[in-house]
Structure 1
Amino acid sequence: MGSKTAQLILSLSILVILHEFGHYITARWFKCRVEKFYLFFDPWFSLVKKKIGDTEYGIGWLPLGGYVKISGMVDESMDKEAMKLPPQPWEFRSKPAWQRLIIMLGGVTVNVLLAFFIYAMILFVWGEQKIVNNSFKGGIYCADSLLLKYGLNNGDKIIAINGQEIKYFDDVPAKMITAANVTVEHEGQQKTLVMPVDLIGQLVEMKKQGVGFIDFRRNAIVGDLSDKMFDTMNAKKAGLQRMDKVVAVDGVPITFIDEMGKLVEKKKNDSVTIEVDRNGQKLALRSGVNADGKMGLPWLTFNDLDSLGLLKIDEKKYSLLASFPAGVAKTWEKLSGYVDQFKKMANPKTGAYKGMGGFKTIGSVFPTPWDWQSFWSITAFLSIVLAFMNLLPIPALDGGHVLFTLGEMITGRKPSEKFLEYAQIVGMVLLLGLMLFANGNDWFGWGRSK
């Protein structure tokens, strides 16, 4: 099992178990009988199961989520026979509407609290590092991105997105995909560029073609070559050393990594002359280039560049007490950003639906090798996504049940069980269709325009 797959399974297992625990604990709180508590689904058979009291705990074989089966509730089990019997005091349907509402919101509540707690602990353990947007002098780098098509240039400095000033470059990629306008400084002059309504859809297409998005320009200064993995690579064989400043490639002057990359890539399966400044001394070194147009060359880390004054990193440490309000703020920030993206996805004109992905897409987000800070950060964000998606007013989701219960509380009229059964079927069909589309998009590009 690959590292990404293992991280995906562990992350989703944590989220599903805790989400369902939210329903389970509130149901037990109001003295509802919980018949089953399962990680993954168990049609026909389960991998593991054990009954304790009234509840069967188990692990199913179909890894598409999980569930708790609460007595007297119309859910994915579609247990129609049980619903034909008279209501019993321990059943969900016998409880007052406000109790049923709390049970329905239990899973979402736990997911939000989990995200807040994880972010708080990340800030407490690792702190926070962000690159100050106006601290690097080289501006941005858009590769061959379509951003060049809409007026951005390599070397521009991003000032604001959608009228909001950008303090940290770390915020640029997420804000750019939902940008309506971008204010940049180009050759000393500020200008505001209008982005197309389908920018996010075009960016998805660009990513599928393997084209880069946006980054900031980094000075071409050689990083640490001490790892044995570099012993067999061209750059180390050629004699390049840490802190060498690359100033030219085949006689063409360069300053930044992207400038060097373009020149070296033209020499696939060939060699290039790399001119470096080593402690004030100019050296010309001949290096081979592999079939991918690479030399096997590491660059200085962000912290190294910060120590040289080539950019500025704001670093903040949090005490345990301070980490909790900061965790709440980060949860809200991530939720707001996701809602903005979801609005784009809900509008066909944006083309954002092309980026809807399933398990393959989610799994690709996790890093290799395994990094616990990244793992927990991704898990916290997925917890927010799970909470938001479950609140959508779709039958078969928590949001659908919440909508019906709120309607009952307002009107005083409870939906019939037959209506709830039909609504559940419609919701399950809709969710199955969305799941098929998302995972089909992963493997077959169903969302791609023809």
Structure 2
Amino acid sequence: MFERFIQLIFSISILIIIHELGHFIFSILFKVRVEKFFLFFNPWFSIIKKKIGKTIYGIGWIPLGGYIKISGMVNDEKEIPLKKWEFRSKSPIKKFLIISGGIIFNIFLSIIIFSLLTFKYGESNLPIKNVPYGIEVNNIGYKIGLKNGDKILSINNEPCYYFNNLTRLILLGDTIVINRNGKVINLLLYDKKKFFFNESKLSLFLQPRVPPIIDKVIKKSYADKYKLYSNDEILTINYYPIMFRDQLRNIIDNNKGKNIVIGINRNGNFIKKTIPFNYKNIIGVHLKNFLGIHKIFSIEKKNYSIINSFLHSFIKSWIILKNQISFFKNIFDLNTKAYKQIGSFFSIAKEFPNTWNWYIFWNITATLSIWLAFINFLPIPSLDGGYIVFILLEMIIGKKYSEIILKRVTNIGFLIISFLMIIVLVWDIFKFFFN
């Protein structure tokens, strides 16, 4: 977990610096003085602090964000004259760009990261047409009405082309059309979304259905003792034919404590093994998933030029933003119980792998950058969106907003957000230690 937190701190440090740099660059461009530029918050003291020119740069000790202090953002003393380097002396459009700078830079960062990853690694997808046996689902899939072997035809009346997208589309969709043994069935999802968000962790609830082929045999297990080997394909259990991995699990569950006769295909030869089975252990094998069965599933690989990588990444960032908006709407629908998935840094840290992987790191960072831009755009006092509302009102009515009201509303907003952050943090710690 420690390495995950190191990755998280590094990731959010990049996001904070880029966000505040957006405000900073637009401020300098419009000749507005920046008094402070800090990574992390620094109440009472700073880890590092140095003044260069008119600006104090530093690193705080609370890694929950960062900030820049812009001269003349708010002034409640009307008798003090405007100074040309103050924020409040600038036109509404310049104020708008300064406040929006962090959001703009976070969006731009996401597109740049995705572009470079796409250009370097390309894109791999599994076409649904290359999944001949339909889907395999876990308990969540069963609860929403899916079954092993179903073939998904469309979601929200839109055809599905890639298996990689199914989990996201189902999570955000309201209707699914499936082919179940030749019969077309419509599933309604709205009242069943609680099954997604009521889980302690949203796992991969569906994957391509695959034959039961052994990937690895656990040492000193029954499988090892009775000489089952990697790449053995299980054909029968107690003379009952087995075609798919999910069938194997069901039959084994029904035969706990009994001897089972396993029929396997080993390099074209049919072999029988009689293996005792108890209640505590599975036979002792790991079965291959769809990623390990390349002869059955053909992955589609695309490479992009640098220009096409940029265009593709722009679209990808937009899709991620739409997904975040959809999830955000679900939070306020108590029927979905999506609020249970709200998390703090503990939840975000768990998204990073235990060992450092730059591809995953930059993917998560790019996704978080879009999320940070979206959150800051919300019209909530003390966030960028709260300031943007006042600036837009100034543009519309042609009259400057009251700085006294802005200051009071911002302070109230800061207290509310701080209170909510504490609640989310406590909730996340509770889930982490007691779930």
Say yes or no: TM over 0.5.
Answer: yes
CA offset at residue 255 of structure 1?
2.5
CA offset at residue 44 of structure 1?
0.7
Deviations 1:154-184 (A, max 9, x none): 2111111111111111111111112211101
CA offset at residue 218 of structure 1?
2.2
Q: State the AA in 2 paired with 1:361.
A: S
Residue 299 of structure 1 corresponds to: 288
Q: Does residue 277 of structure 1 match 2:270?
A: no
The size of the alignment, in residue pairs, is: 431
Q: 1:39 to 1:139 in 2, by over 3 A?
A: same
Residue 4 of structure 1 corresponds to: 4
CA offset at residue 214 of structure 1?
2.3
Residue 148 of structure 2 corresponds to: 154
TM superposition score normalised by structure 1: 0.87
Residue 139 of structure 1 corresponds to: 134
Q: 1:22 to 1:212 in 2, by over 3 A?
A: closer
Q: Say if 1:143 and 1:211, in contact at 8 Å, map to a contact too.
A: no
Residue 77 of structure 1 corresponds to: none
Structure 2 gaps, min length 5: none
Q: Does residue 38 of structure 1 match 2:27?
A: no
Q: Say if 2:257 and 2:276, in contact at 8 Å, map to a contact too.
A: no
Q: 1:219 to 1:83 in 2, by over 3 A?
A: farther
Match of 2:116 among 117, 121, 130: 121
Q: Quick one: distance in 1 between partners of 2:18 and 2:71?
A: 20
Residue 49 of structure 1 corresponds to: 49
Residue 197 of structure 2 corresponds to: 204
Q: Does residue 216 of structure 1 match 2:204?
A: no
Q: State the AA in 2 paired with 1:200.
A: K
Greater CA drift, 38-47 or 148-157: 148-157
Residue 375 of structure 2 corresponds to: 389
Q: Quick one: distance in 1 between partners of 2:103 and 2:59?
A: 21
Match of 1:405 among 378, 383, 391: 391
Q: Say if 2:197 and 2:336, in contact at 8 Å, map to a contact too.
A: no
Q: 1:4 to 1:113 in 2, by over 3 A?
A: same
Q: Quick one: distance in 1 between partners of 2:53 and 2:219?
A: 61
The Cα RMSD (Å) is 2.8
Deviations 1:115-171 (A, max 9, x none): 1111111111111111111322221222222x4244321211111111111111111
Structure 1 gaps, min length 5: 75-79
Q: Quick one: distance in 2 between partners of 1:269 and 1:414?
A: 79
Deviations 1:191-238 (A, max 9, x none): 1111234x3333121x2178862222222223367xxxx656665565
CA offset at residue 301 of structure 1?
5.6
Q: State the AA in 2 paired with 1:31.
A: K
Q: Say if 2:290 and 2:297, in contact at 8 Å, map to a contact too.
A: no
Q: Quick one: distance in 2 between partners of 1:269 and 1:65?
A: 56
1:177-256 → structure 2 map (5 Å cutoff)? 177-197=171-191, 199-205=192-198, 207-208=199-200, 213-223=205-215, 235=223, 238-249=226-237, 251-256=239-244
% identical equivalent positions: 36
Q: 1:83 to 1:236 in 2, by over 3 A?
A: farther
TM superposition score normalised by structure 2: 0.90
Greater CA drift, 112-121 or 359-368: 359-368
Residue 418 of structure 1 corresponds to: 404
Q: 1:51 to 1:142 in 2, by over 3 A?
A: same
Q: Secondary structure at the match of 1:177?
A: helix
Residue 23 of structure 1 corresponds to: 23
Q: Say if 1:272 and 1:289, in contact at 8 Å, map to a contact too.
A: no
Q: 1:311 to 1:91 in 2, by over 3 A?
A: same
1:308-323 → structure 2 map (5 Å cutoff)? 308=295, 310-323=296-309
Deviations 1:227-250 (A, max 9, x none): xxx656665565333322122345
